[in-house]
Amino acid sequence: MIELDGAQGEAGGQVLRSALALSVGTRQPFRFTNIRMHREMPGLLRQHLAAINAAADVSNADTQGAQLGSRELVFRPRRCHAGEYTFTLVSGGACSLVLQTVLPALLLADGPSVVRITGCTHTKTAPPFDFLQRAFVPLVERMGARVKLSLSGYGFHPQITGGLQAEIVPAPLRAISIDERGARVSQFAEAYVASLPTELAQRELLTLSRHLHWNTDQLHLRSLPSAVGKGNAITVTLAYQHITEVFTGFGEAGVRGEVVAQSLAEEVEAYLARSAPVASYLADQLLLPMALSGRGSFVTTTLSPHLLSNAIVIQQFTGRKVVADPYMDGYRVTIA
């Protein structure tokens, strides 16, 4: 039984989801105490229960403490098995957080799987669909597995009208190294509006254009049907020979679109000013499949608290060390 203590370090929802993914992938049970002890609302929230229940479904796991507000969880997985799974999230739950919990283990399952998740596809607190499809999944496929990700409908927080589907064909995962971006292939921005004036998206794109010095061919307005609810998001996609990065800003009530777009532009400019290929959010996502493959490396712009916390959990479940060394204008992260 692997012991995790939420009283130590950054032990929030990300650590829980990583522990669930690694537990199912390695078939090792764990006990997590003092869950989210240092948070304003300690204990399990609804989005955490959704991840626990999904992980339990794909592994026929036994659980203790899987209830709202619980500060202790015991999770005992059996074998991860392929199949068709449907998960419906409530209270604005993020599809990507459930997918990142079950995907690593299903990459090693005994056959193909289909995962359908209904919930938010675009929310500030989780990787949006565009990021998963363009940045993360292509790198997972370079490891050997096949993952086809499709959008069944846009869902902006707090609406839950959207959803995604993942078709997963597992394979032995091989190590990859991501040392450089390579030549730039394309770059473009998209502004999504649902049940909001298109003028908002136009102002956001104009702000991005001014900061990034892009022309109109690189700016795309996406006006979505009112049936998806109300929402606004802006994405910037930078495609290179060896990697694609996606940066996202989300509209908020009372915040002008120009402010959201300027903040996003500054994040993009910071990435463009450096040479490291992997930005912080993608680095967080890459660690788990790399750990299950047994090895791999990438150069990232920064070491986030999530990455450092994931490194500790990975060592507990796999015995493998995640080593981060300064390299050029970033850090080389190696699993060995």
Q: Which residue has the tokens 């229940």?
A: 53
Of 48, 122, 157, 306, the active-site residue reads 306
Q: Which residues on neighbouring strands pair with residue 249, listed in sequence order?
A: 234
Alpha-carbon dihedral 201, 203, 208, 210, rounded to 10 degrees: 160
Contact 36, 12 (CB under 8 A): yes
> Is 38 noted as a catalytic residue in this protein?
no
158 upstream amide cis, omega within 30 of 0: yes
* C-alpha closest to that of 103 among 130, 137, 61, 128: 137
Contact 123, 162 (CB under 8 A): no
Burial class (CB in 10 A: 0-12, 13-18, 19+), 277: buried
Contact 188, 220 (CB under 8 A): yes
Residues labelled catalytic: 306
